[in-house]
Amino acid sequence: MTDQTMEDSGANDVIEKDIIELLGLTNLPKEKQDEYRQKASETIYDRAFTRITKSLAEKGKLPEFEKVAQDEVKMKEFLSQNGIDLEKLMTEEALIYKVQMKSVAEVLNTGISVATKSE
């Protein structure tokens, strides 16, 4: 397998796998898996919302956004009119989150196996 093929395979894992599967947490009880998915979704939403509000604040549009933020249809329309693709932004944040969590899991797993070997 070439380096590029290995990189592509890793990218496909991040894109296609569920966060639980990606992090190797499939042995957790379903309740814990659901809890982790919920926390991951909240984190992704919070990150996306932060990006949106920062972008709109820079454009001086935040007060207008706050007026429509409680109505999903109006909010999506407002974001679209202001050049923000909500679906794309959420996808980007989900991928960033998955990459970050996968990296942390790999570091932790490496650290655990190194510590176990040296003991």
**pLDDT tens column, 40-81:** 999 999 999 999 999 999 999 999 999 999 999 999 999 999
The predicted model scores a pTM of 0.75
- Whether residue 71 lies inside any domain: the answer is no
pLDDT 10s digits, 26-40 = 999 999 999 999 999
- Whether residue 46 lies inside any domain: the answer is yes
- Whether residue 31 lies inside any domain: the answer is yes
What residue numbers bound the domain in which 44 lies?
Answer: 11-58+86-118
Q: How many domains does the chain fold into?
A: 1
Question: What backbone phi and psi angles, to 5 degrees, belong to 114?
Answer: -65, -45
- Whether residue 1 lies inside any domain: the answer is no
pLDDT value at 114 more than 50 = no
- Whether residue 6 lies inside any domain: the answer is no
CA 111 to chain centre: 24
- Whether residue 15 lies inside any domain: the answer is yes
